[in-house]
Structure 1
């Protein structure tokens, strides 16, 4: 084989090797591009998933905040309603308390009421000897009904008339606009056993408190049932 043939054969082999190298390089390039696209797609999907999860998390946080805010506003509204109801009920009680002052102003009816309060107190205590305390301004009225009160109690309880000792310490006076925070009493009496262990407070203010507590559910139902409906 001469030099020319050898040179041709070498060139042919070079072209073959180069062609194979180019084909292999193309295969590698295509494969690399496919892997790159797959990996890119996976990364994009992973980022999309993370974004969706982050959005869902924030959306849940917003919903939770909305529910908390709604609950807080609802509770605040309920508190305002309850406060308004309490204010209305308290204003009714204050109005009733002011009306009590008119009772002691009618001496004839108030005198009869004082006697009934003393008799009721004696029936509750059922003691042979009691202490009585009243307002200083009511002292003369109370003393004027003691005998009839003791006789009425004795008849009702079928016992001897009790001893009633009027205390020289008096209940507070009627409420005054000059000193709204001072202790006061709108009228009535307080009776106690001689040893002080049993006390029956039968003042007009105490009776108002008792009646108001008993009637409070009925008052609330009457005032607020239509609002609740």
Structure 2
């Protein structure tokens, strides 16, 4: 083989090696590009997932805050409604209390009421001797009705007429323009056992409190309708 053939053969081998090298380089480049694209896609998807999770977390926080705010506003509204209803009911009670002050102005009617209150108190206490407390302005009326109250109680309870001692301590008087916010009593009586251990308050104000507590659900229903729980 002469030098020309050898040179030709070497050039062929060089071209083959170069072609193989180029092909291999292309394969490596394509593979690297694919790996890069896959890794890039994975990173992008991972970031997208993180962004979605962060968005969902913030969205939940916003929803929770919205629900809390709504609940607070709803509770505040309910409190305002209940306060307004209480104001109406209290104004009714205050109006009724003012009406009670007029009861003692009709002496005949008031004396009969005092007698009935004393009899009712005796029936509750069932004591042979009691202390009776009344207002200063009611003293004469109380003294007037005590005998008939004793007799009526004795007849109803089928017992001897009880001893009724009128206490020297008086219930507060009706409110005046000079002392509208002090202790006052619209009328009625308070009876107690001799030892003071059993007390039955039968003043007009106490009876008003009892009636209002007892009738409050009915009053609310009449005024405001059926209130949802």
TM-score of the superposed pair, with normalisation by structure 1: 0.92
User: How far apart, in 2, do the equivalents of 1:217 and 1:224 lie?
Assistant: 10
In 1, the alpha carbon distance for the partners of 2:48 and 2:126 equals: 88
Q: 2:107 matched to which residue of 1?
A: 107
Within a 5 Å distance, the mapping from 1:152-191 to structure 2 comes to 152-191=152-191
| Alpha-carbon distance in structure 2 between the residues aligned to 1:150 and 1:16 | 139
Q: What does 1:123-202 correspond to in 2, within 5 Å? A: 123-202=123-202
Q: Return the alpha-carbon distance in structure 2 between the equivalents of residues 214 and 105 of structure 1.
A: 27
Higher mean displacement: 199-208 or 154-163: 154-163
Is 1:70 matched up with 2:70?
yes
Deviates more, 1:191-200 or 1:52-61: 52-61
CA apart distance, 1:227: 7.0
SS in 2 for 1:164: strand
Say whether the 8 Å CA contact 2:221–2:227 is kept in structure 1. Answer: no
Matched, 1:225 2:225: yes
| Pairwise CA distance, 1:56 | 1.7
Contact 2:186 2:205 in 1 (8 A): yes
Q: CA deviation at 1:115?
A: 1.4
Q: 5+ unaligned residues in a row in structure 1: which ranges?
A: none
Could you tell me how far 1:47 is from its partner in structure 2? 1.5
Tell me the CA shift for residue 99 of structure 1.
0.6
- CA deviations over 1:142-187 (Å, ceiling 9, x no partner): 1121122212222222222221111111111112343344221111
Relative to structure 1, the CA distance from residue 180 to residue 5 in structure 2 (aligned partners, 3 Å threshold; closer, same or farther) is farther
2:20 aligned with 1:20, yes or no?
yes
TM-score, with structure 2 as normaliser:
0.92
What is the root-mean-square deviation of aligned Cα atoms in Å?
1.8
Task: Name the SS for the 1:173 alignment partner.
Answer: coil
